[in-house]
Structure 1
Amino acid sequence: MSNIQKLRSRKCTVMHGIDATKVTSPHLFGGKTFDRIIYNFPFAGFFKNLSREATLRKHRRLVSLFLKNAKEIIGENGEIHISHKTNAFHIEWNLESMASSHGLRLIEAPEFDQSDYKNYNTKRGFGGDMNFNCYPSKTYKFGLKRAQVQLLS
């Protein structure tokens, strides 16, 4: 039985192929909230003709829009998980700062463990070579800042 089938047998809602920047579209979830929203290795694409700074802005914009939207559909104690590389260019995405600007706080950031995602494979490696190395990476876990949780109660 696949992981998706196991989750569905437990009455979990499993969705993929969703535009990460539009997760609050009313027709997608009809007002549902979620305990966990997971986004493994967000990546806006390869931009060979753009400068490093312009490319960084595209990646940051993708994650920022995702966080802004995902925040609206997590429950009071819900979490947003982003697995993300922690070396070189990726560290400049400043996930913690970005999340904070959207009213989210870092709960923890353990090292990414691919065994947590049995049979997980990324779609593309660097340059589209189908050989993406997930390490070094962390899974950043964000939740609502405490003041917002009190407002929701």
Structure 2
Amino acid sequence: MENVGLEYSPDKAGTDQRREKWITHYNSSQKILLVGEGDFSFSACLAKAFGSASNMVATSLDSEATLLWKYYWTSTAHLRELKELQCLILHEVDVKDMREHETLKNIKFDRIIFNFPHAGHDRFYKEKDRELIMRHKELLEAFFKSASKMLSEEGQVHVAHRNDFPYRRWNLEKLAKKAGLVLVEMVEFIQAAYPGYQ
């Protein structure tokens, strides 16, 4: 299995070349939205690399109480770090309609990051079952549609995803294209490049 990072931009997209603090594809001058954060370890990794998170908004679908119940041992430290580094943290943000969120609706982002999206497990279906694949595709289609309206002029949507069976059946490129996004680059996602990310 190879995990890949997929970068999508509007057809006219370009790249920001300003010299700032960098970690892989991200820098401290970009306005970054992180969605679907589990224990907030990815956003904490970026914040530590930048030395500040004032350019970041990190979100989760879970309420804060649910998040702390699910990931207490890891999320508590990450949330504390993010707050200390001035990250805006939002809970109960659904990626399907995030562009309507009261806090997010008037902000344009240079990077919107969704790592390993998943519509949730179901005890009746396996990952290869059509029904669950359709749920994943519906989630990603709605995400791309919402995210495409939240990008700055040269903004990009980054999705980390598995490209083996059955995950490639999600057809991310086709779903992104429906939202007016085009694939700019596909790169290997190397977890070790993001210290502390779980």
**TM superposition score normalised by structure 2:** 0.56
Unaligned runs of 5+ in 1: 122-153
Is 1:39 aligned to residue 114 of structure 2? yes
Is the 2:173–2:183 Cα contact (8 Å) retained in structure 1?
Answer: yes
* Gap change, CA 1:24 and 1:114, over 3 Å in 2: same
Aligned counterparts of 2:138 and 2:45: Cα–Cα separation in 1: 33
Flag the 1:114–1:6 CA change in 2: closer, same or farther, 3 A: closer
Alpha carbons 1:8, 1:14 under 8 Å: kept: no
> 1:61 corresponds to which residue?
138
The AA in structure 1 aligned to 2:146 is N
Which AA in structure 2 matches 1:37? I
CA RMSD of aligned residues (A): 2.1
Separation in 2, partners of 1:2, 1:56: 30
Measured after TM superposition, the shift of residue 45 of structure 1 is 1.2
How many residue pairs get aligned? The number is: 121
Amino acid at match of 1:87: D
Structure 1 residues 70-102: Cα deviation after superposition (integer angstroms, max 9, x where no partner): 111011110000000011110100001111111
Return closer, same or farther for 1:7/1:89 CA change in 2, 3 Å cut-off.
Answer: same
CA distance in 1, matches of 2:144, 2:51: 25
Q: Is the 8 A contact 1:41 1:82 kept in 2?
A: yes
Task: Indicate whether 1:25 and 2:105 are aligned.
Answer: no
Identity %: 30
1:38-73 C-alpha deviation (Å, 9 max, x unpaired): 000001111232471111100111111111101110
Structure 2 residue 196 is matched with structure 1 residue 119: yes
1:88 to 165, 181, 188: 165
Greater than 4 Å deviation, 4+ residue runs: 5-8
**CA–CA distance in structure 1, aligned partners of residues 58 and 183 of structure 2:** 24
Unaligned runs of 5+ in 2: 1-43, 61-92
Counterpart code for 1:36: R
TM-score by length of 1: 0.71
**Secondary structure class of the residue paired with 1:75:** strand
More strand by percentage: 2
Q: Hey, what's the Cα distance between the residues in 1 that align with 2:51 and 2:146?
A: 24
Query: 1:2 and 1:107, CA in 2 relative to 1: closer, same or farther beyond 3 A?
Result: closer
